[in-house]
């Protein structure tokens, strides 16, 4: 497809794409009606204003209630001062700010070359990404947690590691799965950052145990171990390994544990290679992929953790692969097998997002930082000028890159 060369043509293309995206998001995907936000808002109001127990609350007409660690409820206490409409508005602003930070970290200096046209096309693409659509429509916290974790990755990559670990610790205190990033810091021998993350997570949990002992006791002894509180494992939105096994009528926990250990071994091997090459973006991307796979429940909106993987693919020179996988994650294809995920087509289609996640874990390029330096070095040697018969030979400046 030929790109328009004039600003007028680009503006027209952006307007057409924006209209198409608007029609698509209004008609094709199921709107989630801020369901998760209504859980947070209702649970906090029930806890603060009605004197009820945090984990006893259920959204009227449903069996769903608060499932996060109690520190998450403590962080959401300002909701007790807001109505649902105001809470929706605040959540939208926070998600937009967090997404902006995530993109700033992932795109890096290349963002200066995008201009308004590139940013507009990127916004249209992001609006189609189903995990991001669902995160916004549910009123979820996934993008906020992703921003906290990637901030630590940016601090480590840029040599500002003094405060690295705070974001990971806070994310792990709000939701358990980001705790895998603490293991990544241990694999990377970033002892200080791992200690900071552990101390922040433990301190947040201890603070909550002091402020809300009953809620803390119930969560850590009962609620955390009860996956039925979250939803059915076999539900097609669960794109974790355990979700795949549940749809295969394989409920044996030992089978899931064996597969999860194998996945974690692959992750540890690949993540260490990425860290050895100082490729922190790839290391954090691999950790997000592994966390999605081994978590007992990974709803579709949790897959915003795949965004760093697409940035790694594009940076490594595989934009077509990134575009193809990204396009699948925009289609809502897994919902075609909501009622019956059986058969070969169900095995492939109902678990499509899980297969993409596993494929990225196995094949995501790593070590781009080191390979990029070698490529520059080779180009430098390749363009050493030949001596001219009309002038004396001039040695090239060491390390100076040649023309593109």
353 and 234 belong to one structural domain = yes
Higher pLDDT, 35 or 61: 35
* Lowest-pLDDT choice from 123-137, 201-215, 343-357: 123-137
Highest-pLDDT range among 26-30, 62-66, 107-111, 284-288: 284-288
Higher pLDDT, 135 or 113: 135
41 and 163 belong to one structural domain = yes
* Percent share of the chain, pLDDT over 90: 52
Q: Where are the alpha helices (DSSP H) in 49-83?
A: 70-75
Higher pLDDT, 307 or 63: 307
| Rounded average pLDDT over 64-84 | 90
142 band by pLDDT with thresholds 50, 70 and 90: very high
207 and 341 belong to one structural domain = no
Q: Domain for residue 14, yes or no?
A: no
| Rounded average pLDDT over 168-176 | 94
| Rounded average pLDDT over 181-189 | 95
Q: Domain for residue 305, yes or no?
A: yes
168 and 236 belong to one structural domain = no
182 and 248 belong to one structural domain = no
C-alpha pair distances (Å), 280 with each of 99, 218, 313: 19, 37, 14
1 band by pLDDT with thresholds 50, 70 and 90: low
Q: Domain for residue 223, yes or no?
A: no
Residues 273-320 have pLDDT tens digits of 999 998 999 999 999 999 999 999 999 999 999 999 999 999 898 999
Distance between CA 305 and CA 287 in Å, rounded? 9
On whether the CB atoms of residues 357 and 285 are closer than 8 A, the answer is no
Residues 337-394 have pLDDT tens digits of 988 888 899 899 999 999 999 999 999 998 765 444 444 344 444 444 444 444 443 3
164 and 260 belong to one structural domain = no
Whether 172 has a pLDDT exceeding 80, the answer reads yes
Distance between CA 392 and CA 87 in Å, rounded? 73
Q: Domain for residue 157, yes or no?
A: yes
| Rounded average pLDDT over 85-98 | 92
| Rounded average pLDDT over 172-176 | 93
Query: How high is the pLDDT of residue 108?
Result: 75
* Lowest-pLDDT choice from 133-142, 152-161, 390-399: 390-399
* Number of separate domains in the chain: 2
| Rounded average pLDDT over 230-237 | 85
* Lowest-pLDDT choice from 52-56, 86-90, 145-149: 52-56
Q: Domain for residue 283, yes or no?
A: yes
Distance between CA 321 and CA 327 in Å, rounded? 10
Helices (H) and strands (E) in the chain, counts: 19, 0
Query: How high is the pLDDT of residue 306?
Result: 96
195 and 73 belong to one structural domain = yes
185 and 243 belong to one structural domain = no
175 and 256 belong to one structural domain = no
C-alpha pair distances (Å), 330 with each of 229, 323, 398: 28, 10, 47
Q: Domain for residue 404, yes or no?
A: no
Distance between CA 202 and CA 390 in Å, rounded? 73
Query: How high is the pLDDT of residue 373?
Result: 43
Query: How high is the pLDDT of residue 283?
Result: 95
199 band by pLDDT with thresholds 50, 70 and 90: very high
The pair of three-digit structure tokens given for residue 159, joined into one six-digit string: 């040599």
Whether 397 has a pLDDT exceeding 70, the answer reads no
Structural domain span for residue 158: 30-216
333 and 289 belong to one structural domain = yes
State the virtual CA torsion across 331, 335, 336, 341 in degrees, nearest 10.
130
338 and 273 belong to one structural domain = yes
Q: Domain for residue 122, yes or no?
A: yes
169 and 240 belong to one structural domain = no
C-alpha pair distances (Å), 32 with each of 83, 130, 139: 19, 12, 9
Higher pLDDT, 252 or 331: 331
């Amino acid at each position: 497809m030929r790109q328009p060369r004039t600003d007028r043509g680009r503006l027209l293309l952006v307007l057409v794409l924006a209209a198409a995206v608007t029609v698509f998001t209004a008609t094709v995907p199921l709107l989630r009606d801020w369901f998760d936000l209504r859980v947070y808002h209702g649970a906090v109001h029930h806890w603060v204003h009605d004197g009820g127990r945090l984990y006893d609350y259920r959204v009227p007409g449903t069996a769903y209630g608060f499932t996060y660690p109690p520190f998450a409820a403590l962080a959401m206490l300002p909701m007790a001062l807001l109505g649902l409409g105001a809470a929706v508005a605040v959540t939208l602003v926070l998600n937009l700010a967090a997404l902006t930070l995530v993109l700033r970290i992932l795109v890096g200096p290349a963002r200066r070359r995008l201009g308004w046209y590139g940013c507009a096309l990127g916004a249209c693409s992001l609006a189609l990404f189903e995990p991001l659509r669902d995160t916004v429509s549910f009123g979820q916290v996934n993008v906020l947690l992703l921003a906290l974790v990637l901030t630590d990755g940016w601090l480590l990559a840029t040599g500002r590691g003094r405060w690295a670990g705070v974001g990971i610790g806070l994310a792990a205190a709000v939701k358990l799965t980001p705790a895998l990033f603490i293991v990544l810091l241990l694999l990377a021998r970033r002892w200080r950052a791992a200690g900071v993350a552990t101390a922040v997570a433990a301190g947040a949990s201890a603070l909550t145990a002091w402020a809300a002992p009953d809620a803390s006791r119930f969560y850590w002894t009962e609620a955390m171990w009860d996956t039925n509180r979250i939803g059915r494992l076999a539900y097609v939105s669960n794109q974790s390994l355990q979700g795949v096994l549940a749809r295969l009528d394989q409920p044996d926990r030992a089978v899931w544990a064996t597969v999860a250990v194998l996945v974690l071994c692959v992750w540890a091997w690949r993540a260490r290679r990425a860290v050895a090459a100082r490729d922190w973006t790839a290391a954090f991307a691999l950790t997000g992929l592994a966390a999605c796979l081994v978590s007992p429940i990974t709803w579709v909106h949790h897959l915003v953790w795949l965004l760093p993987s697409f940035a790694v693919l594009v940076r490594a020179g595989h934009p077509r692969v990134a575009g193809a996988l990204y396009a699948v994650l925009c289609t809502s294809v897994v919902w075609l097998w909501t009622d019956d995920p059986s058969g070969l087509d169900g095995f492939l289609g109902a678990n499509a997002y899980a297969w993409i996640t596993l494929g990225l874990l196995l094949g995501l390029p790593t070590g781009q930082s080191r390979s990029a330096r070698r490529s520059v070095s080779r180009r430098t040697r390749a363009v050493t000028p030949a001596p001219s018969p009309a002038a004396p030979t001039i040695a090239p400046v060491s390390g100076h890159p040649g023309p593109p």
